[in-house]
Amino acid sequence: MDPTIVTWLLVVWGVITMGPLVAAQFSMLVSPHGARTKEWLIGAGEEWRDQTHFRFSRGAAWADWLIVVPLLAVGSVGALLGEAWGYALFGTAGAISLYINVILWFMEKEYVYPSRGPLKYFTYYWGFFVYWGAAALVYSALRVGGVDL
């Protein structure tokens, strides 16, 4: 199950999409009330809406670093090596990204959409995570199922 150009494109897209998020989530873990953390996660000069918003963001940072980052890293390597387990782990990272970001796409619209506008909102802020997650999940399922793309 040799990797194809699609494999490489999805791995690169995943790294580019997740890279800034991983940095922001790391900042949340080491300096949750820091100015940089708030700027990256909620916007320059913004404050957490309430304790639930803060706690959800902190929990998401832990979940990303404990679950998604390892799945994406190991899955990417495994997929590029052409291993079925790599595609399975890569697809799992995609499924998690798709799931949580569909939720956030609706949950955060009231707060993020007005300040960022439709282009940013439906691309980087939530869109790319949804689009990449769906593509990684479907592609990985097809590859594990024996389909060459």
Q: Where are the beta strands (DSSP E) in 16-130?
A: none
Tokens 């595609």, residue located: 87
DSSP per residue over 92-117, as a string?
HHHHHHHHHHHHHHHHSHHHHHHHHH
Q: Tokens standing for 95? A: 């499924």
pLDDT higher than threshold 80 for residue 112: no
The band of 136, judged by pLDDT with boundaries at 50, 70 and 90, is very high
Q: Please say if the pLDDT value at position 44 is more than 80.
A: no
Q: Which of 21-30, 45-54, 78-87, 130-139 is predicted with the least confidence, judged by mean pLDDT?
A: 45-54
**Model confidence, pTM:** 0.89
Q: What residue ranges do the domains of the chain occupy?
A: 5-144
Mean pLDDT of the chain: 92
Model pLDDT, residue 78: 98
* Band of residue 39 on the pLDDT scale cut at 50, 70, 90: confident
